Amino acid sequence: MKSHTPIPALWASSHGHLHRERLRREASEQALSHALPLSLSELETRFRRLRKALQEKLALDREPTPLDVRMHGEVARDGYRIQKVSFLSEPGVRVTGNLYVPDGTGPFPAVLNMHGHWPQGKIAAKVQARGHLLARQGMVTLAVDAAGTGERAEKERDWTYHGALKAAEMFLAGDSLMGRQVRDNRRALDVLQSLPFVDGEKIGATGASGGGNQTMWLAALDARVKAAVVVVSVGSFEAYVTERNCLCETLPGGLLLAEEWEVLGLIAPRPLLILNALHDICPAFGHAPMDATCRQVEEVYLLHNAREKLDWRVFETTHGYHPPMLQALLGWMGHWLAGEPGSSPHALPDWLEVSEEELLCFPPGERPAECGYPAVRAAGRLPDRTFASPDEARAELARLVGWTPPAGGAEWVSKRALPEGTRVGAILSPQMLPLPVAVNGPWPAPGAEFRLVLSPFGKAGTFGRTQWREAAATGLALAAADLPGVGELAWETEPVADVRLHDTARARLWLGSSLAAEWAGAIAVLCEALQARAPGARMRVVAEKEAVLAALLCQALHPAAAFELVESDCPASAADPQNDSLVWCLPGFLPWGDLPALRRLAAPRGDAR
């Protein structure tokens, strides 16, 4: 074979839709398993189990620490003032916020205001707006910085996005950004209840986009929220799969536990207003999934005989907390918290934006370390695990990554010969997905090496092409394959914040497994099918970057895995800052033992290396 022969493709065009639709079908099957109970008693039994499961997943049982509320200055406005505050969420983790307080002694109703994906956090103009407007309506409002944003960013005054790999690091450490946000926001409720000018029995919550998700989770899991307004964030967990959302809106295994209507249903019978945008750019928050979810939530409120406390509305707007939604917010909170006779939208009072600099708690160079994101990362790390035996470690690893052993019987679904001795075909993955495979010549004889090349950039990427050329020059038998979600099966068009395979890996997390585990199963059937065509050949897998992780998982978890692994460009730790792919972010992997422990477990059984 000539060395310039390209790696042949199986299809004339990309077939990434095959993998994407497979994930969607799995999501649909899981969503359908969450049927609405027919009685209030059955509903309450299910919701008790769900609350308990969510409390465990989000680590909500941590011992509270003293709040240590500190005031950092005040900005006077017409009829109200803005206090710059901070408080401890847990030891070593400080939350920064702005407290909008009406003139007078109170006690006033209060609203916790949670921002979405605004890098400036609480000080952004569109986040400020709710504080100014609610204060003018006689309600205290606390706006807090989410972990990784505003004054809680990685670096002081470095307004950056808090999702992607920054959030995924928390998965690796055994925590989640969603859990961190719920815990911080619950402590913010503690702060409001500690203030003498706040009526602690009349606290509401609101937010848009990521802040809307925070509002949902907080209100569902903390009954102190007496009224909630959730804005441009409600769709369905099924719709989240394969669509683009932040990792702060991702709950590993979430779709196995519940659909979104169940989480929203946990708020019942307390007042809940859901506001969405007809022209939202995110399909996961589109009208169809939102309407289907809200109609299920309606059934929950009917079981509680509290239908009047639920409303949902769709506005002719784009994604955001726009003036018509702010009007609805004032009417809803005015009725349910302040005792106004109706919940109709209010006219918006005049207000003046405050400069971002004026609202910061700390002058330049004076932010304490406990406010920064590194403090959040350190506090979320679970203790390292120890195991009594390799089998115990293997069982826990299988649970963490969502490993399901392939059923066996690897099957070729297509094969065809090409000029110059090459051939191309497809092997069915355990999820019944055709995996494109190219073989560079005759099947090797018994005892000869048979190399399988795997890369997260697909078989036609730089690594695959280099291996293909080298094999052609030396006469080595080689097969190159595409794993689910890459190469001819790629469906993501661009990375998120320079993170590859963000949406693909995130979809797998919602379904209770991991893309690395899906790849590990695919590697098992690829090796089985190739060895069946070349019995007696020595299988050697040559893998690049996160494909190495998948190959190690296959060796560690699949009892029949029989191949030698050659690693290329694989780090010493999954937490290496150069790991720019979400495939590395296996929940709880660092406390389990990281890559060194995985390499030991992947060694041939009985091997002492």
CA angle 334, 113, 352 (to 5 degrees): 80
pLDDT of residue 95: 98
- Neighbour count for residue 452 (Cβ, 10 Å): 23
Rounded to the nearest integer, the mean pLDDT of the chain is 93
Examine the pLDDT at 607 and tell me if it is beyond 80.
Answer: no
- The mean per-residue pLDDT over the stretch 328-356 comes to 95
Top-tier CATH class for 42-380: alpha beta
pLDDT of residue 409: 78
Residue 190: both structure tokens together = 């503690």
Measure the CA–CA gap between 600 and 297, rounded to whole angstroms. 49
Residue 566: both structure tokens together = 């050659």
Residue in this structure with the two tokens 């030698």, named with its chain if needed: 564
User: By the 8 A CB rule, do 354 and 82 touch?
Assistant: yes
Residue 455: both structure tokens together = 């890369």
Residue 609: pLDDT band (50, 70, 90) is very low
Examine the pLDDT at 1 and tell me if it is beyond 50.
Answer: no
Return all residues near 211 (Cβ < 8 A) that are at least 6 apart. Answer: 113, 114, 115, 116, 127, 231, 233
Q: What is the pLDDT of residues 195-231, one digit of tens each?
A: 999 999 999 999 999 999 999 999 999 999 999 999 9
Residue 500 pairs in a beta bridge with 581
pLDDT of residue 605: 58
Measure the CA–CA gap between 291 and 304, rounded to whole angstroms. 20
pLDDT of residue 560: 83
pLDDT of residue 410: 84
pLDDT of residue 407: 83
pLDDT of residue 3: 46
Residue in this structure with the two tokens 């790849």, named with its chain if needed: 519
Query: How many percent of the chain have pLDDT more than 70?
Result: 98
C-alpha dist (Å) from residue 150 to 66, 231, 357: 23, 21, 11
Measure the CA–CA gap between 115 and 161, rounded to whole angstroms. 13
Does the CA dihedral 34-35-41-44 come out positive or negative?
positive
Q: What is the pLDDT of residues 124-155, one digit of tens each?
A: 999 999 999 999 999 999 999 999 999 999 89
Range in 161-170, 440-449, 553-562 with the lowest mean pLDDT: 161-170
Residue 82 pairs in a beta bridge with 75, 100
User: By the 8 A CB rule, do 284 and 319 touch?
Assistant: no
- The mean per-residue pLDDT over the stretch 67-81 comes to 96
pLDDT of residue 415: 80
Measure the CA–CA gap between 526 and 426, rounded to whole angstroms. 9
Measure the CA–CA gap between 83 and 71, rounded to whole angstroms. 7
pLDDT of residue 205: 98
Instruction: Give residue 581's identity as a one-letter amino acid code.
Output: S
Residue 63: pLDDT band (50, 70, 90) is confident
pLDDT of residue 79: 96
Measure the CA–CA gap between 424 and 40, rounded to whole angstroms. 57
User: By the 8 A CB rule, do 250 and 178 touch?
Assistant: yes
pLDDT of residue 338: 96
Residue 180: both structure tokens together = 């961190």
pLDDT of residue 468: 94
Measure the CA–CA gap between 505 and 167, rounded to whole angstroms. 14
Q: What is the DSSP letter of 103?
A: S
Q: What is the pLDDT of residues 561-599, one digit of tens each?
A: 889 999 999 999 999 988 899 999 999 999 999 999 999
- The mean per-residue pLDDT over the stretch 451-467 comes to 96
pLDDT of residue 4: 57
Domain coordinates in residue numbering, the chain: 42-380, 435-602
- The mean per-residue pLDDT over the stretch 390-397 comes to 96
Pairing of strands 434-439, 477-481: antiparallel
Question: Environment class of residue 552 by beta-carbon count within 10 Å: exposed (0-12), middle (13-18) or buried (19+)?
Answer: buried
pLDDT of residue 284: 86
Q: What is the pLDDT of residues 477-526, one digit of tens each?
A: 999 999 999 999 999 988 888 889 999 999 999 999 999 999 999 999 99
Q: What is the pLDDT of residues 23-60, one digit of tens each?
A: 999 999 999 999 999 899 999 999 999 999 999 999 99
Helix (H, G, I), strand (E, B) or coil at 282: coil
